[in-house]
Structure 1
Amino acid sequence: MLIKTYVMKNVSQNTNYPIMRVILAFLFFATNYLFASPFATWTSTELTLNNGLVQRKIKLPTTEGNFITTSYKPVNGEFKYFSAKITDFQFEANSVSYCGLSNWSLVNIQQISDKNQGDGAAVTLQSADKKIEVTINFLLYPNLPVIRKSLTIKNLGANEIALESVDVEKLNTVSYWASTFSWICSDYGRRRHIGPYEGNMQDALVIIHNMDWASGIVIGNEATGVLKRTSAYWNANDICAGLTHKEARFPFRKWIKSNQSFETPQVFTMVYNNCKDPNEILNTVVPDFIRKNMDIRLSALDEKPTFVYNTWVPFEKNINEKLIFELAKSASDAGMKEFVIDDGWSSNYGDWEIDKEKFPNGLKPVFDYIKSLGMKPGLWISVGSASTDSKVYKEHPEWFLQDKNGNLTNNHIEVEDHEMKSACFSTGWKDYMKGILLKLSLDYGLEYMKLDFAVVTSAYIFDKEKSGCYASNHSGHKDHNESFYTNYQQMWTLFDELHAAKPNLFIDCTFEAMGGLQLIDYAMLKHAEGNWLSNFDGVAGANTDLRVRNMAWWRSPAIPATALVIGNPQMQDKGWDMHIKSLAGALPIMLGDPRKLSDQDFKKYRAYADWLQLMEERYGIMSYRQDLANFGEPMEGSWDGFQRINSDTKSGGIIGVFRHGAIESKRVITISRLDLKNNYQVKKMDGTVVATLTGLELNQKGFTLTLDQLYTGELFEICKK
């Protein structure tokens, strides 16, 4: 306490010495954290989790008994959702079901923490049959109503066990009122349902909201790809989140050997009350937690991308050194910050040797030239595919996926493709690809990797049997069901090892590698920075822009907007400036042929690029995105918009406002997440001030914007006066 008092006193007295002030401020927050009360306390019969915002009480078994949550609610106010006897968790081991209601003996409880201010407890239990030990890990975070949870399951028996149907959270609700009158906001929190619901791979985030009670539950599922499962009132009055069950389309299974353990993915939940609209939660505490405490790769980046160019459209594989040099010069003149060479640079898939006819001097001089122009070089690679004429395929056929008949197969596309096969990450393939990718990044200077094509499941094959790996001789998985989980995890391990070698490497893990159409989730965010989310081909003009804004709205703010890499708007399209304005709500990326731009277009592009970079430098806009108040899903005949306000510093940010065929030409624009007492200016990109208002006035009164064209939009800076 004396240390804290000393630090607080000196922080206030050393205002004229900035370095000293920073050091002392750090010491204050560090000591405040170190000397704070723990978020988990316990007696011999009860564990209490409480961070001042949320409280969960759990009955502990004494000699033998249940492990059940008896109360889970916001600290202040009432909360009617949960019953007084909550199952807490459930899983199957060798088809035997274990849950909080089973008989357990308490082994121990210990305090735990993580590197992102998480604090809590780990409770270890032993099953009555002495075959299973489970540790339930709880973490809470400062100033957020979040409880994050995982299970560590240990096999105490002599024989291997199959772990399946894992519900990390299993929350029992009261009957009738909870299920009958609640909205189930699924699909990244954006789609509303009534009644029993079983989610799928797109349910990284689900919100259960009761309008009459003005309360609800946020469920964030950090399981990977097609293996996540979140349900509400599906088989009973309960809410479950964890891994897919054994009867699912893509079932989770993990074989655990004797005396070994498996830790599940985490699930986070938030309970709230006094909230009329679930979008308020979706736009505030959810992105705050993801940005600050989830340990996502984007938050670790020192420098986030602001304007990316990619060669895929219109050139596809028809690229060479001369063309890339020309495109790079034009892209640089247009203000691009990253330049990504897509498919077509290699002699085949698998060996990833440079096509010497196209690039006679190799790629390093190309990357060096791109860097000399002030851009970061990027490259497309299929992370899990090889050509049948490749050296690696011929030498190591045992590294490749087998179908149910034992044949080597291509899990990416539904065609008779004898020229490409899919590799299995549960083999030596992972380390082989690590060597390839490390050489490209460390020796050649690659800074952006677009890693593509199916690894576990396909975005385009809908026959569930044509997925995963059926091989019985691959060391990483014992059977087909286990291959789903292991291959995802090996891909994440590869990404982590690449980042360890090159921390600021930007990895774009495409939806094809994720295994589902437009699929992105929290597991990916913890191992890769971005996700090539969509390909909007052949749709120039307003339809392209609407699709871009709709996709960005749909996935955010549950998913950080800068992780959303949305293709394929082209630089030379008529009305291209609307592409950039629309993409400013995600990760701005353009394709096309920049050589076709006029001198005037180059100047306009450079103005957009410089403005976006300036906004990032001033406000860190690429770390934030919120819905613009009173604007909904982008659609024909309406207005839509977004804001990227720095909600931590309240210093400002940008907004984008769009009229898409709406009858009315005027709208009142309000802005949230600013300091209510400060004065702010709303500026056009050229610096023209259109409004000067306090944060409170911008939030409650706003300013009137007129857009005369039916299909148009504008970007504005919001800055402190």
Structure 2
Amino acid sequence: MSFNFKSIFPFLNLSFAILIGTEALAQPKENQVQISNSVIQRNINFSAEKSICTSSLKLLASEHEFTNATSDEFYFTVNEVPVSGKNGWELKDVTDVEIDLGSGKIITLQGAEDLNKTIQLKITYLLYPDLPIIRKRLEIINLSKTEINIENVAIERLALNYGTTHSWIYKNYARQKHLGPYTGDWDDPLVVVHDIETSVGLALGNESPGVLKRTDVFTSGNQFDIGLSHDDDDYPFRKWIKPGESWTSPFTFVGVYENANDPTAFLNQELNEFVRKHIDSRISKINHIPAFVYNTWRPFQNNINDSIVYSTATKAAQCGYEEFVIDAGWYTTYGISDEHTSWADRCGDWIIDSTKFEYGLKPVFDSISSLGMKPGLWISLTSAHPNSLIFRQHPEYFVKDKNGDYTNLHSPGHAISTACFGTGWYDYIKGVISGYVKDYDLKYVKLDLSIVTSAYIDDPTHSGCYAEDHPHHKDWQESFWVLYERCFKLFDELHAIEPDIFIDCTFETAGKLQLIDYALIQRAEGDWLSNIEHPEPLGSFRARNLAWWKSAVIPASSLAIGNLSLNDSLYELSIKSMAGSLPLLLGNPIDFEDGKVDRIHQWATWLKDMQSTYDFLSYRQDLPGFGEPTEGQWDGFVRINTDTKSGGIIGVFKQESHEDKRVVKVNDLEKDKQYEILKAPMGELIGTMSGEDLSQEGFEVEIKKSSDGELFELRLID
């Protein structure tokens, strides 16, 4: 990384650069901070009027400018008063910073006008080796003697050098094209703005949590904003800051590319590498990503007991499963006497149901572990029945609605109330979950149901917490941030207890249908994205479509897609399809015949071998020439280790297509090295080709059935 401090005055030379942190050079009429690595450069100017803005953003190998000096740089309101980079700011300091593998600068500013003089602002800019991506966040410090509120935050606000007419905006995980001004929401952890006239583009990354994300493109002239929801949005962001305290925003990032007719190459290469190595995802930190996971939900749902689990676990182990997760139904709560009470309404006290597990869960989990599988357990994060002991003893822990009543944020079909993470509930549920993790050596926890807003209720006023006496949020608007923040803090503390635990935080907890984003994957390894229970081939088709939709911007192995079943007659298609995300397969294996068990075991062994050899679960790329899984077409994926280029796996699928043959080409290999192509799971040699030939000529795949798929290993020959 490089950094230069310049003044436009000719008598200043480089010897003055070492004084950047001093008071003497904190207030020149005009100066500049330049941040760069080997591929990208950003110039941040301080004008004579004491404003701050990015004057240049470019690739070092090009003269093309992506932005200009008319931008605000950032924006937020303080007690409803607008504050941006165009207000007066004193430059107080510029310091080096290193966070993980990122390095850059922290620019410290002091407000110089009446409206911002009680604000100190620290702006962090981070760059990463050889990547055209710059990350940014704000820290706002309250120097006044009174509490202030922060709203309408644009962490990044830049002016583009082109407008809407020739711009394609790729929204919704960068998979859907939009024309004209656009305001992004919870489904937009990444938005791409591609200019078709100049063949350049910007990727706008937003690491804000859940329904608090907002990214605006061309809604105000040629500028874009990346930040948090506004005060007039359905789920508004607000943060109260006490005197002498500070608030740090989530990160955003901007990536740039050129000489491309669309963003495909950038998404598959630079963005893919950035997310895998630098977004700080939990899936990249865990020592072992499970290659074959079982969950009891389908077909048993809550009708489970020790006998069923023992029998199911025995067969699951024979099938080759690595992890065995007991889903909802293992517990009960005080105050519930009706045996027909639903699984959701039994939440709260988290007592092991002795009518189902007479000797508790310990012998059950001991059995699962003895069979060579890692145990897992389902728990709801904030649900409790009003008759539960915890509710009766601590009603002050629970969410209040707009009328001041206790409420269920999840769905109207259950009697539960939702607890608020901004209360003592946090310590209570932390004790419950961590207790089970430690007592049973759990390696997987599925944490579920709504904590902020519902995936099933469309009324935005039925969300958050309206209580005015909860200790960690002052009002409804602030509750959204607090509920997400403390949920993620809980995940961090669970990881401190068991670093290798796989936290599966469901889309229902995230707050919207099939929602997953950067904020979630930075704190949880996975996200249970859906409950697909269609028979094959429709079930696999839907699962592949969902994986394709999210995996352009989200690590594929964080996509826990339920509930494909091995009881389906086309179960092998299910296994092949799930190899494109987290290999999660459900079903009742108790009555599987030996031949079927052996076949599933072959697939499980192959997946585990591929993971051991290539770490394929850490990678996924689009298969060139194969697009979105679509009826009447072919689709596919590549999971090549692009760091070692030693190989990986390829998935090729046919969905009710009239074509029986397609040519498959693979990029990102060593062009002059030889690779073997082997058909899964038995390793049948299909051919040997160079990396160059695999990219240019490819190999032919034939699928005669109307809907089916094949998996292949690609192996570098030493």
Q: TM-score normalized by structure 2?
A: 0.93
User: What is the deviation of 1:445?
Assistant: 1.2
Match of 2:711 in 1: 715
User: What is the deviation of 1:234?
Assistant: 1.2
Distance 2:41 2:630 in 1: 40
The 5 Å alignment of 1:303-322 reads 303-322=288-307
User: What is the deviation of 1:551?
Assistant: 0.3
Q: Is the 8 A contact 2:120 2:141 kept in 1?
A: yes
Distance 2:564 2:110 in 1: 54
The range that moved more, 199-208 or 81-90, is: 81-90
**Is it true that 1:585 corresponds to 2:583 in the alignment?**
no
Consecutive unaligned residues of structure 1, counting only runs of 5 or more, are: 1-36
- Counterpart of 1:680 (choices 658, 675, 683) is 675
- Counterpart of 2:192 (choices 204, 207, 210) is 207
- Counterpart of 1:86 (choices 67, 71, 80) is 71
Distance 1:115 1:559 in 2: 20
Match of 1:112 in 2: 97
Distance 2:418 2:79 in 1: 31
Q: Is the 8 A contact 2:51 2:87 kept in 1?
A: yes
Q: Is the 8 A contact 2:675 2:688 kept in 1?
A: yes
The 5 Å alignment of 1:660-699 reads 660-685=655-680, 686-699=682-695
Cα deviation, 1:309-363, whole Å, max 9, x if unaligned, reads: 1111111111000110000001111111110100000013111110111111111
**Is it true that 1:334 corresponds to 2:319 in the alignment?**
yes
Match of 1:194 in 2: 179
Match of 1:505 in 2: 501
The 5 Å alignment of 1:626-645 reads 626-645=621-640
Aligned partner letter, 1:491: C
Q: Is the 8 A contact 2:287 2:500 kept in 1?
A: yes
Match of 2:336 in 1: none
Cα deviation, 1:245-297, whole Å, max 9, x if unaligned, reads: 11111010001111211000000111111222201111111121111112111
Consecutive unaligned residues of structure 2, counting only runs of 5 or more, are: 7-16, 18-24, 26-30, 334-346
> What value does the CA root-mean-square deviation take over the aligned residues?
1.2
Aligned partner letter, 1:147: I
- Counterpart of 1:56 (choices 24, 42, 46) is 42
- Counterpart of 2:123 (choices 109, 113, 136) is 136
Distance 2:692 2:238 in 1: 52
Cα deviation, 1:466-511, whole Å, max 9, x if unaligned, reads: 0000000001100001000001000000000000111001100000
Aligned partner letter, 1:55: Q
Distance 1:144 1:41 in 2: 23
Match of 1:406 in 2: 404
User: What is the deviation of 1:389?
Assistant: 1.9
Match of 1:454 in 2: 450
**Is it true that 1:658 corresponds to 2:653 in the alignment?**
yes
Q: Is the 8 A contact 1:40 1:111 kept in 2?
A: no
Count how many residue pairs are aligned between Structure 1 and Structure 2.
679
Match of 1:173 in 2: 160
SS in 1 for 2:590: helix
Distance 2:47 2:352 in 1: 62
The sequence identity of aligned pairs, in percent, is 44
Distance 1:404 1:178 in 2: 42
Q: Is the 8 A contact 2:35 2:104 kept in 1?
A: no
**Is it true that 1:300 corresponds to 2:285 in the alignment?**
yes
The range that moved more, 661-670 or 42-51, is: 42-51
Distance 2:102 2:263 in 1: 26
SS in 2 for 1:636: coil
Q: Is the 8 A contact 1:403 1:409 kept in 2?
A: yes
The range that moved more, 702-711 or 653-662, is: 702-711
Distance 2:5 2:587 in 1: 59
The 5 Å alignment of 1:355-374 reads 355-374=353-372
Distance 1:211 1:701 in 2: 29
CA change 1:367–1:68 in 2 (3 A) is: same
SS in 2 for 1:178: coil
- Counterpart of 2:267 (choices 261, 276, 282) is 282
User: What is the deviation of 1:451?
Assistant: 0.2
Q: Is the 8 A contact 1:65 1:105 kept in 2?
A: yes
SS in 2 for 1:283: helix
User: What is the deviation of 1:41?
Assistant: 5.5
Aligned partner letter, 2:236: P
Distance 1:663 1:392 in 2: 59
Q: Is the 8 A contact 2:153 2:230 kept in 1?
A: yes
Match of 2:54 in 1: 69
The 5 Å alignment of 1:458-607 reads 458-537=454-533, 539-607=534-602
**Is it true that 1:271 corresponds to 2:256 in the alignment?**
yes
Aligned partner letter, 1:657: V
Q: Is the 8 A contact 2:57 2:66 kept in 1?
A: no
Q: Is the 8 A contact 2:2 2:34 kept in 1?
A: no
**Is it true that 1:615 corresponds to 2:610 in the alignment?**
yes
Distance 1:121 1:52 in 2: 20
Distance 1:422 1:289 in 2: 37
Q: Is the 8 A contact 2:40 2:59 kept in 1?
A: yes
SS in 1 for 2:675: strand
SS in 2 for 1:317: coil
CA change 1:184–1:584 in 2 (3 A) is: same
Distance 1:646 1:200 in 2: 32
- Counterpart of 1:397 (choices 395, 398, 420) is 395
User: What is the deviation of 1:40?
Assistant: 6.7
The range that moved more, 381-390 or 453-462, is: 381-390
Match of 1:4 in 2: none
Cα deviation, 1:158-214, whole Å, max 9, x if unaligned, reads: 22111000000101123xx43211110011110000100001101001111112211
User: What is the deviation of 1:593?
Assistant: 0.5
Distance 2:300 2:5 in 1: 61
User: What is the deviation of 1:390?
Assistant: 1.3
Distance 2:123 2:567 in 1: 55
- Counterpart of 1:156 (choices 138, 143, 149) is 143
Match of 2:133 in 1: 146
Cα deviation, 1:218-247, whole Å, max 9, x if unaligned, reads: 111000000000111013211110101111
Distance 1:453 1:291 in 2: 28
Match of 2:14 in 1: none
SS in 2 for 1:590: coil
Distance 1:315 1:713 in 2: 28
Q: Is the 8 A contact 2:290 2:322 kept in 1?
A: yes
The range that moved more, 91-100 or 37-46, is: 37-46
Distance 1:171 1:198 in 2: 15
User: What is the deviation of 1:391?
Assistant: 1.0
User: What is the deviation of 1:700?
Assistant: 1.1
- Displaced runs of 4+ in structure 1, greater than 6 A? none
Q: TM-score normalized by structure 1?
A: 0.93
Q: Is the 8 A contact 1:134 1:151 kept in 2?
A: yes
The range that moved more, 319-328 or 231-240, is: 231-240
Q: Is the 8 A contact 2:96 2:103 kept in 1?
A: no
User: What is the deviation of 1:120?
Assistant: 3.0
Aligned partner letter, 2:132: P
User: What is the deviation of 1:38?
Assistant: 4.1
User: What is the deviation of 1:124?
Assistant: 2.8
Aligned partner letter, 2:248: E
Q: Is the 8 A contact 1:40 1:119 kept in 2?
A: no
CA change 1:546–1:40 in 2 (3 A) is: farther
SS in 2 for 1:559: coil
- Counterpart of 2:247 (choices 246, 252, 262) is 262
SS in 1 for 2:55: strand
SS in 1 for 2:330: coil
